[in-house]
Amino acid sequence: ATGAVSPPPPLEAPPCACAACTMRISVRTLAGRAAASIEVERSWTEAEVCARIPGLPGAIVARPRLFSATGAEVVGSATLADVGVCDGSELQLLLQNRGPVLLTASMDGTASLWCSHSGERICILRGHTAAVLSATFSSDGSRIVTGSSDGTAKIWCAHTWECLRTFQGHRRGVWSVDMSADGSRVLTGSGDTTAGVWCANTGKRLSTLNHCPVPAVFSPESPDGRRVLAATLGETVKLIDADTGDSLRTLKFMPCGNSSVAASPDGAHAIAGVGGVMVMWRVHTEECLSCFDGGAGRVDSVAFSPDGGKVVAGFSDRIAVMWSADCCGREHLTQNEALLILRGHSGPVKSVAFSADGAVLFTGSQDGTAKMWSVDTGECLMTFKGHIAEVTSVACRPFTMDDMLGSRAHDVAGRGR
């Protein structure tokens, strides 16, 4: 008799790849904060995924965008399956129209980048060995320049946050830094009473401007960095040839010292903090046009709006005051003529900066915080907390896609060259 033949064992079913299969994914924000861990279907689009993420702002405030680990965007009718998302994948959440990226420098020895929409700190730049006294972006936003009381300045990539170059040569702290509009030169103002002009690409010192105690900035009328606006030991502000050190214009007011200097976007006007007032000149005629008196405090910081239509000063008595730059021939303006008086800091306002569109103003204070204010209403829109010492400098630029793509790291140690 023939024995019964056993049927072959059943074949294992292949993993399910159907579009309706459910899976679990995680979602993280730009700064690395966990936003959600949710069950989704492979056939879902961006809108369906975002509908399951708690706490997202309304579309009027910011449009959420989702990216896979490879950088592919889940957009429009594209599904999770279309961009290769599988069970256990992590998506990155970007809120478009987040507003500008804020840069702060601090006495705690670090500089930081912040999301102005959420108030989250995007990254911390570490590498200086003492207080960071000044920080700014290049005009295209791709690089950051910092100056420190350790006597050095550094250039950083604004997207990967790597320290690209270190400038050494000052005998005392670097109190002010700037980069020329074409990105070719770096300017440093130091407590050793000199300003240094450096090649941004090689780090070579191109010239030394003597008798310039700080501050110093490049003049916008010279995109290649061949004109410098600087305070001098003679209690004046001078327009200086950056190559020869020759004085081209001298702006005089009174012997009270200059705490901060800024140029209008077209380079035609200059403002400086002179004791308790902010003074404005017409540069090429050396004419003093007006002084803006904010009250009892000392002027610690000044800035022009991007269109040149407004000026603002930060004061030691914890306020920032904004005026129209069109002073209509008046030689002395007070708080009564101010457009806005911003109150909220608990320490002196050490730095002020407008956003690129002029819609918001940033302030940094000795109280260890930075704030964002509406230029239209004067409302405080956001307070940025995280530094453990005075915020010495603020700057900003628009948010870009490179910020999202470079946001894998969070706390960056400088590797200066």
Tens of pLDDT, residues 344-395: 999 999 999 999 989 999 999 999 999 999 999 999 999 999 999 999 999 9
368: its two tokens = 């260890």
157-197 confidence digits (pLDDT tens): 988 889 999 999 999 999 999 999 999 999 999 999 999 99
Give CA 71 to chain center in angstroms.
24
pLDDT at 187: 96
Residue bearing the bigger pLDDT, 80 or 257 = 80
| C-beta of residue 117 within 8 angstroms of C-beta of residue 372 | no
Q: Which residues contact 54 (CB under 8 A, 6 or more apart)?
A: 36
pLDDT at 100: 85
d(CA 253, CA 205): 32
Q: Is the pLDDT of residue 329 over 90?
A: no
What amino acid occupies position 35? Answer: A
d(CA 96, CA 401): 9
Q: Is the pLDDT of residue 122 over 60?
A: yes
Burial state string for 113-136 with b = 16 or more CB within 10 A and e = fewer than 16: bbbbbbbbbbbbbbbbeebbbbbb
Q: Helix (H, G, I), strand (E, B), or coil: what is residue 48?
A: helix
Task: Kindly state the average pLDDT of the residues 302-320.
Answer: 96
| C-beta of residue 321 within 8 angstroms of C-beta of residue 307 | no
32-42 confidence digits (pLDDT tens): 778 889 999 99
What is the pLDDT confidence band of residue 56, given thresholds at 50, 70 and 90?
low
Residue bearing the bigger pLDDT, 213 or 258 = 213
pTM: 0.77
Integer angstrom CA distances of residue 391 from 182, 253, 288, 326, 387:
28, 29, 31, 30, 7
pLDDT at 249: 92
Task: Kindly state the average pLDDT of the residues 236-263.
Answer: 82
Task: Kindly state the average pLDDT of the residues 253-268.
Answer: 78
pLDDT at 21: 80
What is the pLDDT confidence band of residue 252, given thresholds at 50, 70 and 90?
confident
Q: Is the pLDDT of residue 259 over 80?
A: no
Q: Is the pLDDT of residue 409 over 60?
A: no
Task: Enumerate the β-bridge partners of residue 251.
Answer: 237
Lowest mean pLDDT among 78-82, 117-121, 148-152, 344-348: 117-121
pLDDT at 58: 47
| C-beta of residue 261 within 8 angstroms of C-beta of residue 216 | yes
Task: Kindly state the average pLDDT of the residues 240-253.
Answer: 89
Q: Is the pLDDT of residue 341 over 80?
A: yes
Sign of dihedral through CA atoms 167, 169, 174, 177? negative
In terms of Cβ atoms closer than 10 Å to its own Cβ (0-12, 13-18, 19+), residue 287 is exposed
Q: Is the pLDDT of residue 228 over 80?
A: yes
What is the pLDDT confidence band of residue 256, given thresholds at 50, 70 and 90?
low
d(CA 72, CA 66): 8
pLDDT at 257: 58
238: its two tokens = 């001078």
What is the pLDDT confidence band of residue 204, given thresholds at 50, 70 and 90?
very high
Percentage of residues in the chain with pLDDT exceeding 70?
84
